C-alpha cells in the first residue's frame, strides 16, 4: 500500500487523481494540500474523513510516501523541493517549471536519493506524438507546433509543446530559415530551440497538440487529442509505484513505460 498526498486536490486534475487513488487498492490517500482546504466538506471533494488536509505548504505534516502535484506553475518548484527534502517521492504533472528549477530538483533528488517523476504529459497519445515527431524530424527538419487548450490554462506554451519542440530540435538537421517577416507581432508564434510554437486557448478544448512538418511538395501532420482529463490517469497510476522506488528524478513518462 503506497501512501499518497495530492497537492492541488481541489482542482480539475487533483480531483481526477483523488478518484484514481481512491479506486486503487494499492494506494492510500492520506493527505491533500490546497488553499482553502480547511474550510471544505471533505466528502464534496471525495476525501475520507481520515485524510489530512492542509491549506499551505508550511503546515504539511504527513507520512505520505508519494507527492502527486497538479497545482499551478508558480508553486510547483517549492512543493517538489519540500517533498524531496522530506523524503516524499514526487510525481509531478504541473507544467511551467523552468529548466534551471528542474536541474536543481534533479540534483537534490540524487543527493537525497529520493527520486520521482516529472512528466509534461501523462497521456499515452501525447507521449507517442512526441516519439513520432522526434522520428519524423530526422527526415523533415522544418516543423511547427500548434497546441490547443482550455481557456483556464495559466501557462503558454504548454509543457508538452515545449518538450515536443526541444525533442524536434535535438533530433533534426539544420531547418530552412523562413523568409517571412511579422507585420503583426506574434503572428509567427514563439520559438523554443528554434521551433515555432503557437498556443490556442479556447472554451470547449481540453488538451490537444499538432506537429506540422513540411518538405518539398509534401507535408506530414501528427496530432493528438485529450478529450477528457481521464486520459492522464493511466499514466499517473503507473508513475506512483515507479516514483516510490526511484532514486533519481526521471523526466518523461516514456522513461517508465
Ligand X SMILES: O=C(O)C1=N[C@H](C(=O)O)C[C@H](O)C1
Annotated binding residues for (S)-2,3,4,5-tetrahydrodipicolinate? 150, 159-160
Does position 102 bind ligand NDP by CB under 6 A? no
Residues 72, 110, 169, 220: which binds ligand NDP (CB under 6 A)?
A: 72
In the complex, minimum distance from the CB of residue 41 to ligand X, in angstroms, rounded to a whole number: 26
Does position 119 bind ligand NDP by CB under 6 A? yes
Does position 210 bind ligand NDP by CB under 6 A? no
**How many angstroms separate the CA atoms of 173 and 230, rounded?**
37
Does position 116 bind ligand NDP by CB under 6 A? no
Q: Give binding residues for NADP(+) as ranges.
A: 42
Active-site residue flag, 198: no
Active-site residue flag, 208: no
Q: Residue 56: phi, psi to the nearest 5?
A: -145, 160
The DSSP annotation for the chain comes to: -EEEEEETTTSHHHHHHHHHHHH-TTEEEEEEE-TTGGGS-GGGGT--TT-EEESSGGG-----SEEEE---HHHHHHHHHHHHHTTPEEEE------HHHHHHHHHHHHHHT--EEE-S---HHHHHHHHHHHHHHTT--EEEEEEEE-TT--SSS-HHHHHHHHHHHHH--PPPPP----SSTTTT-EEETTEEEEEEE-TT--EEEEEEEEETTEEEEEEEEE-SGGGGHHHHHHHHHHHHH-SSEEESGGGT-
- Residue 10 binds: one of ligand NDP, ligand X, none (C-beta under 5 to 8 A by kind): ligand NDP
Site for ligand X in 199-218 (CB under 6 A): 207
Nearer to ligand NDP, 34 or 62 (CB): 34
Binding flags for ligand X, 140-169, as an x/- string (CB under 6 A) = ---------x---x----xxx---------
Residues 14, 120, 196, 235: which binds ligand X (CB under 6 A)?
A: 120
Residues that bind ligand NDP (CB under 6 A): 7-8, 10-14, 33-36, 70-73, 75, 93-96, 119-123, 232
Q: Which residues are catalytic?
A: 149, 153
Residues that bind ligand X (CB under 6 A): 95, 120-121, 149, 153, 158-160, 207
Amino acid at each position: 500500500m503506497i501512501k499518497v498526498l495530492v497537492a492541488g486536490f481541489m482542482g480539475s486534475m487533483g480531483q481526477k487523481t483523488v478518484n484514481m487513488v481512491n479506486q486503487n487498492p494499492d494506494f492510500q490517500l492520506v493527505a491533500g494540500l490546497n488553499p482553502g482546504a480547511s474550510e471544505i466538506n471533505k466528502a464534496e471533494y471525495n476525501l475520507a474523513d481520515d485524510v489530512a488536509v492542509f491549506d499551505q505548504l508550511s503546515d504539511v505534516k504527513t507520512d505520505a510516501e508519494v507527492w502527486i502535484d497538479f497545482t499551478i506553475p508558480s508553486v510547483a518548484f517549492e512543493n517538489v523541493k519540500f517533498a524531496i527534502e522530506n523524503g516524499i517521492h514526487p510525481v509531478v504533472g504541473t507544467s511551467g517549471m523552468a529548466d534551471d528549477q528542474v536541474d536543481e530538483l534533479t540534483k537534490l533528488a540524487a543527493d537525497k536519493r529520493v527520486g520521482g517523476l516529472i512528466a509534461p504529459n501523462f497521456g499515452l497519445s501525447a507521449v507517442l506524438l512526441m516519439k513520432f515527431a522526434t522520428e519524423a524530424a530526422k527526415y523533415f527538419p522544418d516543423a511547427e507546433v500548434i497546441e490547443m487548450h482550455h481557456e483556464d490554462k495559466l501557462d503558454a506554451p504548454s509543457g508538452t509543446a515545449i518538450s515536443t519542440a526541444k525533442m524536434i530540435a535535438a533530433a533534426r538537421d539544420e531547418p530552412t530559415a523562413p523568409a517571412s517577416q511579422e507585420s503583426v507581432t506574434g503572428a509567427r508564434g514563439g520559438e523554443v530551440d528554434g521551433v515555432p510554437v503557437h498556443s490556442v486557448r479556447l472554451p470547449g478544448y481540453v488538451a490537444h497538440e499538432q506537429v506540422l512538418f513540411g518538405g518539398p511538395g509534401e507535408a506530414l501532420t501528427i496530432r493528438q487529442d485529450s478529450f477528457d482529463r481521464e486520459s492522464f490517469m493511466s499514466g499517473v497510476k503507473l508513475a506512483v509505484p515507479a516514483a516510490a522506488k526511484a532514486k533519481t528524478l526521471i523526466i518523461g513518462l516514456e522513461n517508465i513505460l
